[in-house]
A and B are shown apart, each in its own frame.
Chain A
Amino acid sequence: MFALPLGFVAVGGIGFYTILERMESDKYDPHALPSPLIGHRPPAFTLPGLNGGAGFSNTDLAAPPRPMLVNWFASWCLPCAQEAGMLDQLAQTGLQIWGIAYQDKPDATEKYLSQYGNPYTRLATDISGLTAINWGVYGVPETYLIDKTGIVRWRWAGAITNDVLEQGLNPLLAQYS
């Protein structure tokens, strides 16, 4: 008679345990949102570069020769600094990473890049943060994978760790290259 409710409690318990276990090992983030941009091109934008440098626009992302990343970052963002080493490492493998500084003072961005290294092939600045809203960015760092046809295939909110690289990014890079 108690078998049924007991069974439900057990199933629930196993469910909760699995969620906690996966959260612990960084395989599941309950706060991560699926990006509506996946499967689509980035929205139209034109952003200036840093301190008078050349920026880029959505048309520059229309057909990259190889899959590439767009990384949103800011000098005031701590996880961005933690991610900097990883981005440098990725850039050295020949992966193009284009950076967009989000709601950041240009001088602060410049200082940040000289301090933590500049992995970006091209750099743009979204000082108002309005382009970020059109992309659905809700925090920095955020990284988007764009394939050769200019379509967004992956979005990662938060710093890219080794696990994220191995389980998320690398398989997709292989798939779309």
Chain B
Amino acid sequence: MRALLSLLVLMPAIAFAQTVTRDGVTLTVQQEQRAEVIGDQLRCLVCQNESIEGSSASLAKQLRVIIRQQVVAGASSKSIMDYMVQRYGIFVLLKPPLSKLTLLLYASPFIALVLGFFVAWMARRSRVAPPAPLSDMDRERLERLLKS
């Protein structure tokens, strides 16, 4: 009973002390998760459509190490992102922030929508009116013509 009680008391500590080692840096599971969230948002500069987390380039590995070292040192996620942007520019962010440079990019869906409505309106306006329905006489004549 006593052993069980002490185990119960120790359990949170054991859970917290559970560590992983990634790229040579040892950190807790929570810290590793935070590091992964940061790394997933950063572009690998070598293979530019991969994230730092997903890339096997040596620079990406080095940046993963830096992220983890800073996480262990207690740096906030924002300050780690700022560290990367300061060195590599906003291009390092896989999701670019809204700025003068990216305004057109973010506005493009709305521009496309407005253009779509405009084209639809133009198409509607220039549509030829459908012909009047056939009268009984016309229908009879049509049938005659089709049969002959």
Contacts and interface: CB of A to CB of B under 8 A. Distances in A.
B109 interface: no
A175 to B, nearest CB: 23
Nearest to B59: A138
Chain B interface residue bracket vs A: 20 to 34
- Residue in A4, A31, A33 with the greatest tally of chain B CB atoms within 10 Å: A33
Nearest to A32: B91
A116 interface: no
Contact of A31 (B48, B89, B126): B48
A135 B138 CA distance: 84
B83 to A, nearest CB: 10
B87 interface: yes
Given A1-B123, A4-B118, A139-B46, A34 B89 contact: yes
Looking at chain A's contact residues, is the secondary structure mostly helix, strand, loop, or mixed?
loop
B145 to A, nearest CB: 33
A156 to B, nearest CB: 15
Interface of B: 45-46, 48, 58-59, 62-63, 66, 85-89, 91, 115, 118-119, 122-123, 126
Interface string A7-36: 010000000000000000000000101111
A129 B46 contact: no
A133 interface: yes
A40 B127 CA distance: 60
A136 B115 contact: no
A138 B46 contact: yes
A4 B89 contact: no
Given A1-B126, A33-B89, A33-B91, 11 more contacts: A4-B118, A4-B119, A34-B91, A36-B87, A129-B59, A130-B62, A133-B62, A133-B66, A133-B87, A134-B87, A136-B87
